[in-house]
Structure 1
Amino acid sequence: MQYTIYIIAVVGFIILLSSFVTVKQGTIAVVTVFGKYRRQLRPGLNFKIPLIEQIYSRISIQNRSVELSFQAVTQDQANVYFKAMLLYSVVNQDEETIKNVAFKFVDATNLMQALIRTIEGSIRAYVATQKQANVLAQRNEIVLHVKEQIDQVLDGWGYHLQDLQLNDITFDEEIMRSMSRVVASNNLKAAAENEGQALLITKTKAAEADGNAIKIAATAEREAAQLRGQGIALFRAEVAHGMSKAAQEMEQANLDISVILFTMWTESIKHFAENGDGNVIFLDGSSEGMNRTMKEMMAMQLNKQTEPTAKKG
Structure 2
Amino acid sequence: MPYYFLLPFAFIGFIVLLSSFFIVKQQTAALIERFGRFQSIRNSGLQMKIPIVDRVAGRLSLKIQQLDVIVETKTLDDVFVKLKVSVQYVVLRDKVYEAFYKLEYPHDQITSYVFDVVRAEVPKMKLDDVFVKKDDIAIAVKAELQEAMLEYGYGIIKTLVTDIDPDTQVKAAMNRINAAEREKIAAQFEGDAARILIVEKAKAEAESKRLQGQGIADQRREIARGLEESVEVLNKVGINSQEASALIVVTQHYDTLQSIGEETNSNLILLPNSPQAGSDMLNNMVASFTASNQIGEAMKRQKNKRKDEE
- For this structure pair, what is the TM-score category when the shorter chain's length is used for normalisation? 0.5 to 0.7
Name 2:226's counterpart in structure 1: 235
Name 2:101's counterpart in structure 1: 103
Q: Which amino acid aligns with 2:88?
A: Y
Shift of 1:60: 1.4
Q: Where in structure 2 are the equivalents of 1:78-97 lying within 5 Å?
A: 78=78, 80=80, 82=82, 84=84, 86-90=86-90, 94=93, 96-97=94-95
Does residue 159 of the first structure (1) align with residue 155 of the second (2)?
A: yes
Aligned mates of 1:88, 1:4 — CA distance in 2: 58
Cα deviation code 1:180-228 (max 9, x no counterpart): 6854773575367346524632442243123312332133124414532
Q: Where in structure 2 are the equivalents of 1:21-170 lying within 5 Å?
A: 21-32=22-33, 35-42=37-44, 44=45, 46-51=46-51, 53-74=54-75, 78=78, 80=80, 82=82, 84=84, 86-90=86-90, 94=93, 96-105=94-103, 107=104, 110-131=105-126, 135=130, 139-156=134-151, 157-167=153-163, 169-170=165-166
Aligned mates of 1:239, 1:70 — CA distance in 2: 103
Q: Which amino acid aligns with 2:89?
A: S
TM-score by length of 1: 0.63
Gaps of 5+ in 1: 248-256, 295-313
Shift of 1:152: 3.0
Name 2:252's counterpart in structure 1: 271
Secondary structure, counterpart of 1:159 in structure 2: strand
Name 1:306's counterpart in structure 2: none
Aligned mates of 1:79, 1:32 — CA distance in 2: 52
Gaps of 5+ in 2: 258-269, 296-310
Q: How high is the sequence identity, in percent, across the aligned residues? A: 15
Q: Which amino acid aligns with 2:252?
A: H
Q: Which amino acid aligns with 1:88?
A: Q
Question: CA contact under 8 A between 2:71 and 2:118: conserved in structure 1?
Answer: no
Secondary structure, counterpart of 2:156 in structure 1: strand
Aligned mates of 1:128, 1:228 — CA distance in 2: 83
Aligned mates of 1:159, 1:148 — CA distance in 2: 11
Name 2:304's counterpart in structure 1: none
Shift of 1:90: 1.2
Aligned mates of 2:125, 2:39 — CA distance in 1: 47
Cα deviation code 1:74-122 (max 9, x no counterpart): 557x584636353423166x4x1434433332x3xx2222111111111
Aligned mates of 1:21, 1:262 — CA distance in 2: 141
Q: Where in structure 2 are the equivalents of 1:216-231 lying within 5 Å?
A: 216-229=207-220, 231=222
Question: CA contact under 8 A between 1:123 and 1:142: conserved in structure 2?
Answer: yes
Question: CA contact under 8 A between 1:65 and 1:85: conserved in structure 2?
Answer: no
Name 1:193's counterpart in structure 2: 184
RMSD, aligned α-carbons:
4.4
Secondary structure, counterpart of 2:124 in structure 1: coil
Secondary structure, counterpart of 1:58 in structure 2: strand
Aligned mates of 1:152, 1:274 — CA distance in 2: 111
Shift of 1:57: 2.1
Shift of 1:140: 4.1
Distance 1:183 1:160, change over 3 A: closer
Name 2:17's counterpart in structure 1: 16
Question: CA contact under 8 A between 1:101 and 1:159: conserved in structure 2?
Answer: no
Aligned mates of 1:260, 1:134 — CA distance in 2: 94
